[in-house]
Structure 1
Amino acid sequence: MADGVERPASFGSVLAVPEFRAIWLAELQSVFGDQLARVALSVLVYTRTGSAAWPALTYALTYLPDLIGGPLLSGLADRFPRKAVMVNADAGRAVLVGLMAIPGLPLWLLATLLVLTQLLNAPFTAAQAAIMPTVLSGDLYVAGQSIRQMTGQTGQLAGFALGGAVIAAIGPGKGLAVDAVTFAVSALVIRFGVRSRPAAGANADGTRISLFAGLVAGARTIWRDSRLRSLVMLAWLAGFVIVPEGLAVPYAAEIGGTAATAGLLLAAHPAGIVVGVFLFGRLVAPGTRQRLIGVLAVLAIVPLVGYALRPGLLPAIGLLLASGACAAYQVTAAATFMRLVPDAERGQAFGLAGSGLIAAQGVGLVVGGLLAAVLRSPALTVAVVAAVGVLVALPVAAAWRRARRTFP
């Protein structure tokens, strides 16, 4: 995308588009249920095992299946009508999460259902991301992505902030049942609120492109463009930022807190993102936003080094707020990425990039959980991972700067 100044689209003009409203509302209410379910799973596993490692490992299972599902299943968003992909994926997740809500399930079965649920996340998110540039054009798309990010993070904020108290009141099983209902509602809203469109990806003779051919095409598109490569790497740095979430419950215990304390810690980072996205999107010119992507990617990790001081609740919230505000660069990075990718390959390309992002987060959670078991301190674990993250982020930010200069 060029650095020329665009006339900013208002949030009101974006919300005036009926299809966007349907996608946005379906996503918003589902986000709250997802975060409530994550708190429920963390509390359930920590209560059963008493281990700091197991909650982080269980939390990681909400991300790791995308190692397989992202590359292999995201291409469905190009091979089939994207509306149908979203509806069917949501319906499947509603059933699977509903089964997870059954009391007394052994942990291995709970983990199996969780993995199957997350496999359906790949085609849904790919179809959703691929259809958005079609629903919204020009700066409406950028503004729409900002709205989705802000309200999505607000939904996470509400889910995490209230999650501990809600789970304490209704129990983990009912919390999972609420999440199942939100998936069902999302399927219905998309079914009746989004227009049907033909599949975007096809061969010259009109037949569907095979999953393998789509996978190769998507990978080739990303690899051949240094801008796309560097944007993907910048997004994957989230694997270092996610660690405090996976260790929120044991860290709350380390500083003498409760499940409600963990909920507040989980809410702080999304709250920072909401503020950062609003200020970054409304007060900073498009060209400047792109130049700052690399800088903010590094700054999103730096505050987490402060966990080395084993901060109390309020200082830890401050560190997470600062990290979240800088993480707002992800909106500009994602919007730029999707604009650069051809429509026929958007689902697969997004799936490859997005699955790598989620896999990076999952790996970060696994490493964080295992390291916490070795170091016996969630605070020290977060600080060590963040220090490594800063060292990795610096050359990645430099790569984005070079790519912009080569291909403005």
Structure 2
Amino acid sequence: MPALRLTRFSSLRAFGHRDFVHVWSGALVSNIGTWMETLALGVYVTTVTGRAEATGAIAALTFLPAVVLSPVGGALADRFDRRVYLAVGTLMQVLLAAILTVLAFTGRLSVPAVAVISFLNGCAGTLTNPAFSALVSEIVPSEDLHSAVSLNSAQFNLGRIIGPALAAGVLATGGIAWALFVNTLSFLAVLVALSRVRASSKASVLSREELWPGIVRGARLAREDAGIFLIMMGTLIVAALVAPFIGLVPVFAIRVFHQGAAATSLLVTAQGVGAVTAAMMLGPLVERLGRKRLLEWCVLLIGPMAALYWMAPTLHAAALAIVGLGALYMSTLAGFNTICQLRAPRELQARISSLYGMMLGVGYAGGVWLQGALADRVGVRFVTASCALLFLALVLTMRLLLPRAFDATEAPTGHLSPGEARPSVGLEGHGDF
């Protein structure tokens, strides 16, 4: 589809690039399978253990490797052909999914086995995710990058809509083993998509730096660039205080509303509907409000919306609230990720993406485990709603103390050549927030 035919639909412009369509489609099929596995394992662990802490801990294990491996994944992704690198990582995930499937079919699935494989899956994902982000930046021009990031969030959340619905049906008819089997097959779509991606004419020169100096160089940029540093800190806080709503959905459905897989599927699907809707609206909203102002509004509203979700009196009220929460969460992270990619030089994009993933993983792993553990002791609603309101308090405090902080994210300075000077950007900008 020619890019010119999509100019009036700014949220869809990235679909005008053939390679992006292949990558997007393959990722969608894989994410449908992943969400089938996520829901199936979440219901399994919650049902077997009856503890929110256990469900939160399993969710945390998937993100825990990001604490150590994210910078390594980013540095490696800048050293190798990203398509080949992603293919190897995908094969690792196929193997792990197949092991889970065999355990389920033979009746040997257990919570410790789920924990170990969730951790290993987190390792594989952490090592490959920076390469995926950098590959998207490589095959899509910078003017369409926000569209590509939004559409990637949309496909992820389409998987969140379709996967749980399929999982609920499969769990009801065939059991957990068949849900895990479908996930194993879904990874093949990624391998097919990568085989059809052509080499990009703007692909950056592969990094020849040693691994550790390469990691240090990326970390130095994240520390010295005020815009990237601010986004990293914001990602950490959002991940710790708000994002645990994702991993604790089975707990909310089973412990609070006393229902099972169908209720869990409803809430996960509703979040996906909100996220996909927001992805379709992001392009026009960015053009009308500007990237910075839109991000300000998302950050201000996400805390109250999360509190509204956790305090919803009925399952259907919670489903309506999580539609809004899913939209705000997707919009916030898409804005964060786009700014990081735009501000980073092309040869450092994978490393900056890996540090962004590390902040997301560290915050989420700690937040979902701690909120789950506290929920077992003082109640799910009290803990989660309090964290959401704490996030709002932090945002309002920042607005009072650093009213111009977000100016550092306004003008992207990325995609510079290695020898080109980078403008100095401080927190003392000339805007609001």
TM, length-normalised to structure 2: 0.84
Structure 2 counterpart of 1:292, one-letter code: L
Aligned partner of 2:268 in structure 1 is: 266
Measure, in 2, the Cα distance between the counterparts of 1:390 and 1:193. Answer: 42
Q: Which moved more, 1:328-337 or 1:39-48?
A: 328-337
Aligned partner of 1:216 in structure 2 is: 216
Aligned partner of 1:192 in structure 2 is: 196
* 1:144 maps to 2:158: no
Aligned partner of 1:167 in structure 2 is: 171
Structure 2 counterpart of 1:133, one-letter code: S
* 1:97 maps to 2:101: no
Measure, in 1, the Cα distance between the counterparts of 2:8 and 2:358. Answer: 30
> Residue 303 of structure 1: CA displacement?
1.6
Gap change, CA 1:56 and 1:113, over 3 Å in 2:
same
Is the 8 Å Cα contact of residues 56 and 366 (structure 1) preserved in structure 2? yes
Aligned partner of 2:66 in structure 1 is: 66
Measure, in 1, the Cα distance between the counterparts of 2:235 and 2:288. Answer: 18
Is the 8 Å Cα contact of residues 227 and 406 (structure 2) preserved in structure 1? no
Aligned partner of 2:313 in structure 1 is: 311
Query: 1:190-236 CA deviation, whole Å, 9 max, x = no partner?
Result: 1233437877443xxxxx21221111011111111111111222333
* 1:120 maps to 2:124: yes
Gap change, CA 1:395 and 1:131, over 3 Å in 2:
farther
Structure 2 counterpart of 1:369, one-letter code: G
Map 1:243-322 → 2, pairs under 5 A: 243-253=244-254, 254-285=256-287, 288-307=290-309, 309-322=311-324
Measure, in 1, the Cα distance between the counterparts of 2:11 and 2:386. Answer: 40
Structure 2 counterpart of 1:314, one-letter code: H
Structure 1 counterpart of 2:385, one-letter code: A
Unaligned residue ranges in structure 1 (runs of 5+): 1-6, 203-207
Is the 8 Å Cα contact of residues 32 and 163 (structure 2) preserved in structure 1? yes
Aligned partner of 2:421 in structure 1 is: none
> Residue 308 of structure 1: CA displacement?
6.0
Question: What is the aligned length?
Answer: 396
Match of 1:330 among 330, 333, 339: 333
Aligned partner of 2:406 in structure 1 is: 401
Measure, in 2, the Cα distance between the counterparts of 1:192 and 1:402. Answer: 40
Query: 1:82-116 CA deviation, whole Å, 9 max, x = no partner?
Result: 11111100011101111012221343233222211
* 1:368 maps to 2:371: yes
> Residue 14 of structure 1: CA displacement?
2.9
Identical pairs, percent: 23
Is the 8 Å Cα contact of residues 201 and 345 (structure 1) preserved in structure 2? no
Aligned partner of 1:230 in structure 2 is: 230
> Residue 135 of structure 1: CA displacement?
0.7
Unaligned residue ranges in structure 2 (runs of 5+): 1-6, 411-427
Gap change, CA 1:274 and 1:346, over 3 Å in 2:
same
Map 1:79-98 → 2, pairs under 5 A: 79-98=79-98
Aligned partner of 1:205 in structure 2 is: none
Structure 2 counterpart of 1:373, one-letter code: D
Match of 1:358 among 361, 364, 374: 361
